[in-house]
Structure formats: structure tokens, C-alpha cells
């Protein structure tokens, strides 16, 4: 950011600014990331200057992108990131594209801030009047002991947590003496005590082939008893949502139906709502490059028109129009009228 500002002021050549894209002579030109800019130790990053932001204005006009609140509710929230990156590399995710060889550098690597650093940031936010923090980590539960410790300390600091961005299904389980998966009651109890009302879990697909190919095998539909996990969360008074994706480039009708059926089973086990998303090949992800290479997607497509409700691939086994209908039908069929109306109201008010 500082380099960009210097380049805009004419104090530095823009070609020396690390990892930017710029229109030059009618063409988009990218500069590469400078490896020396990479912070392995996140504690070395300067503290964010939140005091320079108009937080009150954000509270009035915007909303965190998750959490439990009513439309129109007064919030005094701010994001907090205690880790960066992720241990998985799902092909539709920006993380998977953020490798050493990429223009961004290896910023997708999983890195953690120390407890002291995370709590220092929290104290600054509290001093600015923030009451709810939204943990933006993509993999907050990646180190469970640390996550449990931090949840406790955030509570002790008198702040409430409105939500965590990334909850991986695998982290909601532990293995018993026979190496079988069982719901991790310590994690569920700690989330509840920290003030959570709801947890949203990313299942993405029910088809093992799809999970293997696109989602780094990040959960195991055959070995993880999701019905028991849902029941355990409900016993702790937590609402549970599930996220599912339809329309992977080579996904078959049968695999899509498997996912819709899985969401139905989750509903029957007590999950509160199920979100269905169209798969989006966002630029910068491996999925984007592979889809262009394999003829599923045009490189000239305007990404501004991508939307999680639209199916944008071409030459797929299931035509995009059918994927869009399947997604909409599943969302309408398996969610209550109240949930659907609330979602629409939140989108309008945000
Ligand atoms: S688990 Fe989530 S954050 Fe991690 S790579 Fe997959 S989609 Fe991205």
C-alpha cells in the first residue's frame, strides 16, 4: 500500500511496486510479488490503524458478512484476523492460487499470530468502541488448543464474537480410541460459551470424487457422522447452517442429486438451513485456469457478472440453465419461508 502511494505521488516507478495489476498502454500488466515482502511471522506486521477508519459510518451503513443479528439491529462490530491462509487448497478458492510461483506470492500459507498479538488488536478495537468481533480467519480452528485458548481470552476481555468466517467440518470432530470420528464436544462447548448462536459448515458436495478433485478431500462423507454432530450442536443450543455447491465443471446429474439428498438428510437430522451456491471460477483460482484450459469457461467472461446464484460454465454435462434451476429449487424447497425472507431482508438492508 505504501509503495502504491509512493508510485501515485511519482516518488517511485510503478514497475517496482510488488504484486499489482495496472493498465499500461491499453494492456493489463502485472508485477510480481517480492518474496522479501512475505511475513512468515504475522506478529511482525504493523498494527492496523483502525483509528483512521470511520467505524461509526460502517456500523450505520454496513453489516458483517455472517453472524446472528436481526435486520436493522444496532451493531458495533469489527473484523479480527488471528491467522492467515489455510491448510487446504480448494481449487475454487483464492488460497489455492496464492502460491510461491503466483503473482501474489505464498500468502495462502497457513500462518498464526501469537495470542499476545491477537489480544493487542482486540484491545485497540475495544478502545474504539467495538463490542462484537467477527473472526475473519479462513481456518480459525486449524490449531484447536490455540483456538480454545483464544476464545476464552476474547470472552475474558469482555467482547462478544459474532461469527467465525471459516469453520471446517473436520475440526468439529475428534477421533475416539478406535480412530472413529465423533463430535468434538470441547470445541462445540467452547463456541457456545464464547457467545456463538450459530455455526455454518461448508460441506460443498456429497460426492467423494468431487470433494477429492476440487476441495482437497476436506471432509469425509463416509466416515464423519454428521447427523450426530448436528444433534450435539443442537443440544448446546446452536443453530446450524450448511453450505453446498452445485455445478462443478464435470459434475454429473447424479453427483448433484447426491448433494441435494445430503442436504435433505441434514435437514432431517435437524440442521436449520441449507445454502446452495453455484460454483464460481473466480480469477486467480486454479479452477479459473483449469476451466479456461478445458473449454468450460471463456477467458473473456466479465467476472463482474459472476454471481453465486448463476451457473456460468459452458460445455458441461449438466447444462448451466439446469444447474441454475436445480440450485434455486433446492434452496426454496429445503429452507423455511421465514429464513428465505430474512435472507432477502438482510441483503436489502445491508
Ligand atoms: S477450506 Fe476454505 S479457506 Fe481453505 S482452501 Fe478450502 S475454501 Fe479456501
pLDDT digits (tens, 9 = 90+) for 69-95: 776 788 899 999 999 999 999 999 999
Residue 306 reports pLDDT greater than 90: no
Which residues touch 264 (CB under 8 Å, ≥6 apart)?
Answer: 334
Pairing of strands 111-112, 83-84: antiparallel
Do both 13 and 145 map to the same domain?
A: no
Three-class SS of residue 111?
strand
| Confidence tier at 345 by pLDDT (50, 70, 90) | low
Q: Is residue 194 part of a domain?
A: yes
| Confidence tier at 295 by pLDDT (50, 70, 90) | very high
Ligand 1 atom at shortest distance from the alpha carbon of 202:
2
Between 64-68, 78-82, 200-204, 344-348, the lowest mean confidence (pLDDT) is in: 344-348
Do both 272 and 232 map to the same domain?
A: yes
Do both 96 and 3 map to the same domain?
A: no
- Distance CA(93)–CA(82), nearest Å, equals 19
Distance between Cα 51 and ligand 1 center (Å) = 31
Q: E-assigned strands of 67-223?
A: 77-80, 83-84, 111-112, 132-135, 160-164, 173-175, 181-183, 198-204
Do both 290 and 202 map to the same domain?
A: yes
Do both 26 and 60 map to the same domain?
A: no
Backbone angles phi, psi at 314, to 5 degrees: -130, 170
| Confidence tier at 348 by pLDDT (50, 70, 90) | low
Sequence length of the chain is 350
pLDDT tens-digit readout, 174-209: 999 999 999 999 999 998 888 888 889 999 999 999
- Distance CA(89)–CA(92), nearest Å, equals 9
- Distance CA(177)–CA(21), nearest Å, equals 52
Which secondary structure element, helix H or strand E, spans residue 278, and what is its range?
strand 273-278
Q: Is residue 36 part of a domain?
A: no
The contacts found for 309-312 with CB under 8 angstroms, 24 or more apart, are 309/278, 310/278, 311/246, 311/247, 311/278, 311/279, 312/278, 312/280, 312/281
Helical axes 226-235 vs 253-269, angle rounded to 10°: 30
Distance between Cα 314 and ligand 1 center (Å) = 25
User: Does the predicted model carry a pTM greater than 0.85?
Assistant: yes
Query: Comparing C-alpha atoms, which of 117, 111, 113 is closest to residue 87?
Result: 111
Q: Is residue 39 part of a domain?
A: no
Do both 141 and 7 map to the same domain?
A: no
Ligand 1 atom at shortest distance from the alpha carbon of 94:
8
Query: Comparing C-alpha atoms, which of 160, 201, 162 is closest to residue 184?
Result: 201
Ligand 1 atom at shortest distance from the alpha carbon of 92:
7
Number of domains observed in the structure of the chain: 2
Confidence (pLDDT) at 150 = 93
Confidence (pLDDT) at 73 = 81
Residue 280: other Cβ atoms inside 10 A:
19
Do both 207 and 102 map to the same domain?
A: yes
**Full domain range(s) for residue 306:** 45-349
Is 262 near ligand 1, meaning CB less than 6 Å away? Answer: no
Q: What is the mean pLDDT of residues 61-67?
A: 76
Q: What CATH number does residue 316 fall under?
A: 3.80.30.20
Q: What is the mean pLDDT of residues 281-309?
A: 90
Which residues touch 195 (CB under 8 Å, ≥6 apart)?
Answer: 155, 160, 161
Ligand 1 atom at shortest distance from the alpha carbon of 215:
6
Do both 157 and 14 map to the same domain?
A: no
- Beta-bridge partner residues of 27: 24
Distance between Cα 9 and ligand 1 center (Å) = 37
Do both 72 and 26 map to the same domain?
A: no
For ligand 1, pick from 90, 169, 201 the residue to mutate: most ligand atoms within 8 Å of CB.
90
Query: Comparing C-alpha atoms, which of 172, 176, 122, 165 is closest to residue 144?
Result: 172
Do both 4 and 134 map to the same domain?
A: no
| Confidence tier at 164 by pLDDT (50, 70, 90) | confident
pLDDT tens-digit readout, 237-260: 998 999 999 999 999 999 999 999
Distance between Cα 167 and ligand 1 center (Å) = 10
Q: What is the mean pLDDT of residues 281-305?
A: 90
Mean pLDDT of all residues belonging to the chain: 91
In degrees, rounded to 5, the angle at the alpha carbon of residue 29 between the alpha carbons of residues 286 and 299 is 40
Residue 221 reports pLDDT greater than 90: yes
- Asked whether 20 and 30 are in contact (CB, 8 A), the reply is yes
Confidence (pLDDT) at 48 = 92
| Confidence tier at 350 by pLDDT (50, 70, 90) | very low
Do both 15 and 150 map to the same domain?
A: no
Give the CB-side neighbour count of residue 130, counting CA atoms within 13 A: 28
Is 201 near ligand 1, meaning CB less than 6 Å away? Answer: no
Percent of the chain at pLDDT above 90?
Answer: 71
Do both 135 and 244 map to the same domain?
A: yes
Confidence (pLDDT) at 338 = 84
Amino acid at each position: 500500500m505504501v509503495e502504491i502511494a509512493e508510485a501515485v505521488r511519482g516518488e517511485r516507478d510503478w514497475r517496482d511496486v510488488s504484486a499489482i495489476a495496472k493498465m499500461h498502454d491499453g494492456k493489463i500488466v502485472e508485477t510480481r510479488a517480492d518474496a522479501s515482502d512475505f511475513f512468515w511471522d504475522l506478529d511482525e506486521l504493523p498494527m492496523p490503524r483502525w483509528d483512521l477508519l470511520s467505524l461509526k459510518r460502517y456500523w450505520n451503513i454496513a453489516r458483517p458478512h455472517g453472524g446472528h443479528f436481526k435486520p436493522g439491529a444496532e451493531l458495533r462490530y469489527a473484523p479480527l484476523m488471528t491467522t492467515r491462509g489455510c491448510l487446504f487448497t480448494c481449487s475454487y478458492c483464492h488460497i489455492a492460487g496464492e502460491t510461491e510461483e503466483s503473482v501474489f506470492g505464498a500468502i495462502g500459507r497457513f500462518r498464526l499470530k501469537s495470542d499476545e498479538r491477537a489480544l493487542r488488536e482486540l484491545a485497540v478495537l475495544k478502545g474504539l468502541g467495538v463490542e462484537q468481533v467477527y473472526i475473519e480467519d479462513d481456518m480459525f480452528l486449524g490449531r484447536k488448543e490455540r483456538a480454545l485458548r483464544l476464545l476464552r481470552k476474547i470472552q475474558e476481555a469482555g467482547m462478544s464474537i459474532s461469527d467465525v468466517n471459516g469453520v471446517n467440518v473436520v475440526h468439529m470432530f475428534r477421533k475416539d480410541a478406535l480412530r472413529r470420528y465423533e463430535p468434538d464436544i470441547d470445541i462445540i462447548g467452547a463456541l457456545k460459551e464464547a457467545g456463538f448462536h450459530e455455526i455454518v459448515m461448508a460441506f460443498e458436495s456429497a460426492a467423494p470424487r468431487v470433494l477429492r478433485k476440487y476441495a482437497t478431500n476436506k471432509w469425509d462423507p463416509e466416515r464423519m457422522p454428521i447427523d450426530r454432530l448436528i444433534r450435539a450442536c443442537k443440544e448446546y443450543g446452536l443453530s446450524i447452517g450448511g453450505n453446498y455447491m452445485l455445478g462443478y465443471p464435470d459434475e454429473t446429474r447424479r453427483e448433484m442429486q447426491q448433494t441435494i439428498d445430503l442436504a435433505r438428510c441434514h435437514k432431517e437430522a435437524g440442521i436449520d438451513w441449507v445454502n446452495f451456491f453455484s460454483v464460481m471460477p473466480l480469477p486467480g483460482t486454479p479452477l479459473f485456469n483449469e476451466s479456461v484450459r478445458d473449454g468450460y469457461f471463456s477467458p473473456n467472461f466479465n467476472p463482474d457478472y459472476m454471481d453465486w446464484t448463476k451457473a456460468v460454465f459452458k460445455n458441461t454435462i449438466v447444462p448451466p440453465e439446469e444447474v441454475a434451476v436445480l440450485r434455486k429449487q433446492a434452496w426454496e424447497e429445503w429452507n423455511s419461508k421465514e429464513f428465505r425472507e430474512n435472507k432477502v431482508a438482510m441483503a436489502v438492508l445491508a
